[in-house]
């Protein structure tokens, strides 16, 4: 296990403070923005439980996200990582126009899933354009798996 994964796992011991866990994840991936959403069946939405670097005017737009909307909603719907190298110039249609207000360049979201069931999403971003490596995405998926285990136990 890499040092990055060991550090993040340590932050998840006991009953984790998810805001702190997200901050540790961002530090270990050298990112400036991030969100952690949990899937709520009752509302059929991803609901935010931790965030860093999200401007106030956007917070209301990311508090609840339906499947298929934006980077997190698309990762949840597809049950696979979704990456955008530069959110500021992206024309794929995955990111919503308001997302540019985050000033994020490179971003990636991965599903938080347990036994094939969607439990939420984890998204991180850098202010500059950036392609996350396959190793970084794999590590983020491992982290998301650990989060899912905590939520399943909780």
Span 72-97, pLDDT tens digits: 999 999 999 999 876 566 566 566 56
Is residue 95 within 8 Å of 87, Cβ to Cβ?
Answer: yes
Q: Which residues contact 13 (CB under 8 A, 6 or more apart)?
A: none
Check which CATH number belongs to the domain holding 139 and give it. Answer: 3.30.450.40
Locate 75 and state its tokens: 């990762």
Is residue 124 within 8 Å of 25, Cβ to Cβ?
Answer: yes
Q: How far apart are CA 120 and CA 114, in angstroms?
A: 10
Range of the domain at 54: 3-153
Neighbouring C-alpha atoms within 13 Å toward the C-beta of 10:
9
Residue 105 pLDDT = 76
If one counts the domains in the chain, the total is 1
Neighbouring C-alpha atoms within 13 Å toward the C-beta of 52:
21
For 68-78, what is each residue's pLDDT tens digit?
998 999 999 99
- pTM of the full structure: 0.92
pLDDT category of residue 58 using cuts at 50, 70 and 90: confident
């Amino acid at each position: 296990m890499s040092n990055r994964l060991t550090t993040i796992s340590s932050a998840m011991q006991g009953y984790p403070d998810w805001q702190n866990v997200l901050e540790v994840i961002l530090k270990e991936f050298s990112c400036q923005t991030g969100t952690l959403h949990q899937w709520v069946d009752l509302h059929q939405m991803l609901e935010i439980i931790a965030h860093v670097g999200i401007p106030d005017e956007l917070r209301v737009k990311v508090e609840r996200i339906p499947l298929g909307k934006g980077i997190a909603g698309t990762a949840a719907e597809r049950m696979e990582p979704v990456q955008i190298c530069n959110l500021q110039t992206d024309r794929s249609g995955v990111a919503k126009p308001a997302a540019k207000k985050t000033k994020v360049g490179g971003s990636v979201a991965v599903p938080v899933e347990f036994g094939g069931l969607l439990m939420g999403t984890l998204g991180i971003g850098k202010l500059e354009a950036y392609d996350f490596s396959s190793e970084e995405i794999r590590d983020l998926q491992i982290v998301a798996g650990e989060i899912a285990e905590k939520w399943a136990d909780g």
